[in-house]
């Protein structure tokens, strides 16, 4: 299943996030939740194992 369907976030906002554009905190939260992560995990550039 694709991230847009899992998160309820439209493809345009996902693309914006992937390319470093501005997204809302709520969008960030929806994306993180769909991926089984915390929103802070998406903001941290260290590998998950290094946290």
Query: Can you give the residue range of the structural domain that contains 42?
Result: 3-50
DSSP 8-28: ---HHHHHHHHTT----HHHH
CB 38 within 8 A of CB 32: yes
Q: What is the pTM of this model?
A: 0.84
Q: What is the pLDDT along the chain (51 residues), one digit of tens a residue?
A: 899 999 999 999 999 999 999 999 999 999 999 999 999 998 888 887 787
In terms of phi and psi (left: phi > 0; alpha: psi -120 to 50; beta: otherwise), the region of 46 is: beta
Joined together, the tokens standing for residue 40 give 């802070």
To the nearest 10 degrees (0 to 180), the angle between helices 25-35 and 11-18 is 90
Q: How many domains does the chain have?
A: 1
């Amino acid at each position: 299943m694709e991230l847009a369907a899992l998160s309820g976030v439209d493809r345009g906002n996902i693309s914006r996030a992937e390319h470093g554009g501005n997204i809302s905190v709520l969008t960030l939260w929806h994306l993180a939740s769909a991926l089984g992560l915390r929103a802070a995990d998406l903001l941290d550039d260290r590998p998950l194992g290094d946290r």
